[in-house]
Amino acid sequence: MMKTSLLRQAAASRVAFAARPVRMPLRASLAIRAAAPVHRPVTSLLRFYSSESAAHESAAPHQELVTRFADLPQLGVHERIVNAITKGMKYENMTDVQTMTVNSALAGKDVVAQAKTGTGKTLAFLVPIVQRIIAQDPELADRRRGKARADDIRAIIISPTRELAEQIGVEAQKLCQGTGVVVQTAVGGTQKHAMLRRTRFEGCHLMVGTPGRIHDLLSDPTTGIDAPRLGALVLDEADRMLDVGFKAELEQILKYLPSREDVPRQTLLYSATLPKNVVGLARQFIDPRNFEFVQTIKSDEVPTHERVPQFIVPCRGFENLAPTLLELIRRDVAKAKSNPDRLPFKAIVFLPTTASVMANSYIFRRLKYSDPTMPKILDIHSKLAQATRTRAAEEFRHSESAILFSSDVSARGMDFPNVTHVIQVHLPQDRDLYIHRIGRTGRAGKQGEAYIMVSDVEIPAARDRLPGLPIQRCTDFENASIDITQESELPPLFKEVQDAAHKAPFELLNDTYASYLGNAIRDVDRQDVVDEINNMAKYTWGMQEPPAVSPRLISQMGRRVSGLRALDGPSLRRGRTIGREFGDRDSYGRGGSRGGGRNFSGDGFDQMERAAREEGRPRYGGRGRGPSANF
DNA sequence: AAAAAAC
């Protein structure tokens, strides 16, 4: 009964789509519009949706929808696939997105689907895809070797990251276990030759991979890999795949696939976030006369989970972030230990650059030396060797308690079980990314909590970028509000972090500092970023002067930006600048040295910074449009 | 020098 009413709601939301006011980040919408102008007037597309949905309503009343995996054979799904799900994976009831898309996809329609994170989208596209492969070749329902070829791929699934492709590959493998359907994974950073040898030997019906490697394999005639009878194409994280940066590569891949006129092809597009014009963007991919737009998120609903409370932790400056993170980790590790009802502390910490991921994982790994309660520290980002990345993801997946420091490689789709905390340090690029990041917790009905830690100067941008989300201001952490410039001695957690940072290789912190600058080049108020990172270098890392950066980077920041120190400058010292006397009260704060000139603390820079803060002038990219968020 | 993604 419950299921039926949920479905009705969801079905109703499909009809309501035409009137749905869709919000998307300005930056993303501009980027997409620039990449692919929509030639059809939007109104006609919307009308088209309505009639399409209405037709579906009358043709297939939702009482007839199959909602249990065990009933899928009624729709022609092979018993072996069903057994893999009900006996192997032990799933019984389908989620809303599974019910609503599997039914349509099995009927042969293209599907564009949006559903919340962690609600089983992967299985929702795998079932119809694998069934379609078996329907084309009924003998594939039986396990047998020697039949599969490398040049007759029947379905391709494309994902935006390597780990996500691997994860989907594993799930597909489980589903195909009892059948003759062969799955291969094709991602960059792995040995192409080994993959080719395996694929030539075992064959491949279903290829899962990332765009670069798939394109590489298809475009290189010597690989022997081909898909002349391709029957299905899936874009997971479809909005990302259709975004600039990926779309061109997808179009390249299409060149090596048979045209839809020659070979009928089903296309499935899934994501937790879909811009209003996805269908326009995807028009090379989907069949405009035979597709279904499915939304299991109601039009007025926030696309995040009710059961994941979201908190924003405003910090006085960048220098407060790491100590506040340490405070949060210690508090919630202790909470989990003292309360048997809570899951062990398992967190993903998202940081804005690969260098900041490396530096913070180093610092927290160091902190663990003297703090046995600190969970295992792992890190993952694109600059690691692929084998290291894969190992980190696997280790985190299997850890009961751990902290994964991550770039946005893990933002989308990754299904790490029992993640209790998602902690974002600084702002994500856009609202959708925020939604995907927090979607790493609260999956499959589990609890979770989400924190975003930002500096006060980022608050206007946070309000601007994260409207309409149930984010509450959190003032629980004493390290967040400490004005370090007013302290006569380093507070304990600042001291611990500094001591750990002192042991870091100089280049690590130097690169992190520079990465913040690189990241800020497009920001509106770059001076704020410079002010903030200088305080971070000084008070979080305990440096005496800002790390020197290339003159070129300085000029990129603009001539009006002050407070940067040039590498190889004629009168400037280069090299390690971490002083020994940190922790000594005279080495930081207002009583610090007054060297004048470019000296880190004596040029009146701190006073300027404080004055600006007290004025409360809008900074750091905030557009000052009035309150759009309630924190 | 700024997520990600092929060699």
- Residue-level pLDDT at A63: 53
User: In angstroms, how far is B1 C1' from A388 CA?
Assistant: 24
Closest CA to the C1' of B1: that residue is A518
Among the candidates A280, A295, A310, a domain finishes at A295
Q: Contact A364/A377 with Cβ under 8 angstroms? A: yes
Same domain, A451 and A429: yes
Strand A565-566 relative to strand A548-549: parallel, antiparallel, unpaired? parallel
User: In angstroms, how far is B7 C1' from A216 CA?
Assistant: 8
Q: Is residue A145 part of a domain?
A: yes
Same domain, A309 and A255: no
User: In angstroms, how far is B1 C1' from A65 CA?
Assistant: 54
- Residue-level pLDDT at A147: 76
Please return the burial class of A207, using the count of CB atoms within 10 Å of its CB with bins 0-12, 13-18 and 19+.
buried
CA–CA distance, A323 with A256 (Å, rounded to integer): 52
The DSSP annotation for A117-131 comes to: TTS-HHHHHHHHHHH
Same domain, A265 and A282: yes
* Residues 28-47 of chain A sitting with CB below 7 angstroms of strand B: none
Same domain, A477 and A516: no
Closest CA to the C1' of B7: that residue is A216
Q: Is residue A38 part of a domain?
A: yes
* Residues 401-440 of chain A sitting with CB below 7 angstroms of strand B: 407-409, 411, 429, 433
Same domain, A256 and A319: no
Closest CA to the C1' of B3: that residue is A408
> ∠ CA(A468), CA(A475), CA(A519), 5° rounding?
65
Closest-CA residue to A254 (of A285, A275, A281): A285
SS (H, E, C) A219-265: HCHHHCCCCCCCCEEEEECHHHHCCCCCHHHHHHHHHCCCCCCCCCC
User: In angstroms, how far is B1 C1' from A84 CA?
Assistant: 49
pLDDT in tens, A481-533: 999 999 999 999 999 999 999 999 999 999 999 999 999 998 888 999 999 99
CA–CA distance, A48 with A603 (Å, rounded to integer): 64
pLDDT above 60: residue A195 = yes
What tokens were used for A71?
């009933």
Q: Nearest nucleotide (C1') to the CA of residue A165?
A: B5
What residues contact residue A476 under an 8 Å CB cut-off, 6+ apart? Answer: A313, A331
For residue A352, which amino acid is it?
Answer: P
Same domain, A282 and A330: no
Assign residue A191 a region (left: φ > 0; alpha: ψ between -120 and 50; beta: otherwise): beta
CA–CA distance, A472 with A309 (Å, rounded to integer): 8
Can you point out the beta strands (E) in A5-58? none
Q: Nearest nucleotide (C1') to the CA of residue A210?
A: B5
Among the candidates A232, A262, A295, a domain finishes at A295
- Residue-level pLDDT at A303: 81
User: In angstroms, how far is B2 C1' from A427 CA?
Assistant: 14
User: In angstroms, how far is B4 C1' from A406 CA?
Assistant: 13
Same domain, A465 and A552: no
Which has the higher per-residue pLDDT, A180 or A596? A180
Which has the higher per-residue pLDDT, A370 or A608? A370
Q: Contact A184/A240 with Cβ under 8 angstroms? A: no
DSSP code, position A318: G
Q: Is residue A585 part of a domain?
A: yes
Same domain, A185 and A317: no
- Residue-level pLDDT at A597: 26
Tell which strand B nucleotides have any atom below 7 Å from a protein Cβ.
Answer: 1-7
Same domain, A23 and A70: yes
> ∠ CA(A390), CA(A210), CA(A177), 5° rounding?
70
Strand B closer than 7 A to residue A78 Cβ:
no
* Residues 170-189 of chain A sitting with CB below 7 angstroms of strand B: 187-189
Q: Nearest nucleotide (C1') to the CA of residue A191?
A: B7
Q: Contact A359/A508 with Cβ under 8 angstroms? A: yes
Q: Is residue A286 part of a domain?
A: yes
- Residue-level pLDDT at A375: 98
Q: Which phi and psi (to 5°) does residue A512 adopt?
A: -65, -45
Strand B closer than 7 A to residue A280 Cβ:
no
CA–CA distance, A114 with A129 (Å, rounded to integer): 18
Same domain, A511 and A418: no
- Residue-level pLDDT at A156: 98
Q: Is residue A495 part of a domain?
A: no
Q: Is residue A33 part of a domain?
A: yes
* Residues 196-255 of chain A sitting with CB below 7 angstroms of strand B: 209-216, 219, 240, 243, 245-246
pLDDT above 70: residue A564 = yes
Same domain, A288 and A347: no
CATH code of A280's domain: 3.40.50.300
**Domain housing A420:** 302-490
pLDDT above 50: residue A79 = yes
Among the candidates A440, A465, A490, a domain finishes at A490
Q: Per-residue confidence at A304, pLDDT binned at 50, 70, 90?
A: confident
CA–CA distance, A390 with A252 (Å, rounded to integer): 27
Q: Is residue A618 part of a domain?
A: no
Closest CA to the C1' of B5: that residue is A212
Q: Which phi and psi (to 5°) does residue A176 adopt?
A: -90, 0
Q: How many domains does chain A divide into?
A: 3
For residue A250, the tally of other CB atoms under 10 A from its CB is 19
User: In angstroms, how far is B6 C1' from A210 CA?
Assistant: 10
Q: Is residue A322 part of a domain?
A: yes
Assign residue A282 a region (left: φ > 0; alpha: ψ between -120 and 50; beta: otherwise): alpha
Percent of the residues in chain A that have a pLDDT greater than 70, as a whole number: 80
Q: Nearest nucleotide (C1') to the CA of residue A384?
A: B4
Same domain, A230 and A266: yes
User: In angstroms, how far is B3 C1' from A395 CA?
Assistant: 22
What tokens were used for A128?
């119809």
Beta bridge partners of A379: A405
Q: Which phi and psi (to 5°) does residue A348 adopt?
A: -110, 125
